[in-house]
Homo-oligomer: A and B are copies of this chain.
């Protein structure tokens, strides 16, 4: 293969594709270079410079005079499942926005289906022009407080590290276990380091000695910075600071000040998407959006593009494959109308035009999924309204209850205490104060075990919503103003194999079907986005007017984020890391 590239570079054989007269964003040298040609043979770049001698009668020549050419974006941290679409549909959705490589952490499907779920994602990606590298999910379950569909430990990590395409241990979000010296998580890290792979971090707000201790575990990235100081301390401790611009976390404007104000060397700074809902992809784009936000907040465009290409590629030690436009690299190339606006004109992946003017120009084959992926919502029986009852220690009046305080646009919750009314010995939600009953039903092993509590923030005036997307164990989350609608919502999802449903007065008023592992749709992103939009319209009509409320809702069960969460086994104080009584 190298022989072929050499022959093309010298003009002995002709290129398959030559892009001519580009203004090249050279991320390797950190320069904008005018009048550059790029010669491509097969799926790789043979030459950058002057390429007329590589053009033959069958060479496809694309003149891009007046336009910029940059490497395809490399998303250093992304959960495809968060976009609610399959890997194939995700490729179709993000390639037109210039994302040609994703380092995915399939820990959502890992929590549902275990190692075979990870394999499923990797295998599906093999046929796609989108390069998908896998970071093996490290926290399945995220903590011992949850019941996932499968468990992943050092043995499973050891197995996955031997797969082609697995480049890292996925975000080690169980940082309390890391700091406590837990043998399981350190065993996973040891297996990863033994294979010469990278360990990805996910910590919330660690600083100083605790952050140093986290880094001492061999963890060399973190995407949880929300302030300048977070990013700066991570860089100083030898971690890559991955700055998030997802749908619900908009960290770049603040965190990028580590470069624009503190003037840290930007080489270890990446912009990543982490989680993007389908409608944000359709509306704002993907990695091009994250890079654009960095530029809007004062980062030089070439540096910002490095943050979305070369930097993550170097972090994962895949920079000889992707992340720059240079001989021998894969020909993942984007053509831009505007550097600052990150308007993508055309996208080449593996040397092939895959998108133009924001639309895919190739066909994507529809893969088939095994039954185990299609039928992942297992309840032992239909749920009944009385399953959701919260018995009060007092028969009537009011009772002080621990309430999860959800916050718009935040991954964090507050631990609130509210007085809730008691009727017939049952604690009632306080709908007019946006305090709803919340249940997490174990959906993996055919049980109806559930934890029930209360959440403040989602201002639904009536009805109930349910979701099989409920980080990270992805049990069946139900949030409602009354027990009857909650039961109907849960049973509806069990029937359709998963998704998000809104039920009012016993009737389904919005449904987003996500039949693959209860997480993903096989429909194109535009259709899923439309379905989610319809759902949000319904939610707004019902009184819930937050931006991206679903992302916040779906984290109510994530027992590694402060301060109070609900699992299928009960209410968890995620500061002290212990189960707590619903009653204060």
* Residues of A participating in the B interface, judged by any CB pair closer than 8 Å: 1-3, 5-12, 26, 28-31, 33, 44-50, 53, 178-179, 181, 183, 186, 189-190, 193, 198, 208-210, 212-220, 232, 235-239, 264-265, 267-268, 306, 314, 317, 320, 324, 326-329
Contacts and interface: CB of A to CB of B under 8 A. Distances in A.
Contacts of A209: 9-11, 47, 49-50, 53
B216 A6 contact: yes
A9 B235 contact: no
Given A2-B218, A235-B29, A49 B208 contact: yes
Contacts of A30: 264-265, 267
B10 A210 contact: yes
A515 B6 CA distance: 42
Contact of A179 (B10, B45, B49): B10
A268 to B, nearest CB: 6
A26 B198 contact: no
A29 B105 CA distance: 26
A379 to B, nearest CB: 40
A328 B218 contact: yes
Given A2-B218, A9-B209, A238-B324, 11 more contacts: A3-B181, A3-B183, A3-B186, A6-B217, A8-B216, A9-B212, A47-B216, A48-B212, A236-B326, A238-B326, A238-B329
A72 B44 CA distance: 37
Given A181-B7, A320-B198, A189 B28 contact: no
Nearest to A12: B181
B264 A29 contact: yes
A264 B29 CA distance: 5
A213 B47 CA distance: 7
Nearest to A325: B238
Counted per complex, copies of this chain come to 2
A580 B50 CA distance: 35
Contacts of A178: 6
A320 B218 contact: yes
Contact of A6 (B50, B179, B198, B237): B179
Interface centre among A9, A198, A212, A236 (most CB of B within 10 A): A212
Contacts of A44: 216
A232 B50 contact: no
A28 B235 contact: yes
A7 B193 CA distance: 19
Contacts of A28: 235-238, 265, 268
A2 B217 contact: yes
A26 B326 contact: no
Contact of A328 (B6, B11, B48, B215): B215
A179 B218 CA distance: 41
Given A29-B232, A236-B28, A217 B328 contact: yes
Interface centre among A8, A29, A265 (most CB of B within 10 A): A29
A164 to B, nearest CB: 10
Nearest to A267: B267
B9 A46 contact: no
Contacts of A26: 236
Contacts of A215: 326-328
A45 B215 CA distance: 10
Contacts of A314: 314
Contacts of A235: 28-29
20 contacts: A3-B181, A5-B213, A6-B214, A6-B216, A6-B217, A8-B216, A9-B216, A10-B209, A26-B236, A28-B236, A29-B236, A30-B264, A31-B265, A48-B237, A49-B208, A49-B212, A212-B327, A213-B327, A217-B328, A237-B327
Contacts of A7: 181
Contacts of A327: 212-213, 215-216, 237-238
A132 to B, nearest CB: 18
Contacts of A10: 179, 209-210, 213
B216 A50 contact: no
Interface centre among A210, A216, A306 (most CB of B within 10 A): A216
A327 B29 CA distance: 29
A40 to B, nearest CB: 11
A577 B429 CA distance: 87
A3 B181 CA distance: 5
Contacts of A190: 1-2
A178 B4 CA distance: 11
A2 B216 contact: yes
A27 to B, nearest CB: 8
A233 to B, nearest CB: 9
A33 B236 contact: yes
A268 B186 CA distance: 33
B50 A208 contact: yes
A12 B267 CA distance: 33
Interface centre among A189, A209, A235 (most CB of B within 10 A): A209
Interface centre among A2, A49, A189 (most CB of B within 10 A): A2
Contacts of A1: 190
Nearest to A30: B265
Contact of A236 (B48, B50, B268): B48
Nearest to A326: B238
A88 B397 CA distance: 83
Contacts of A217: 2-3, 5-6, 328
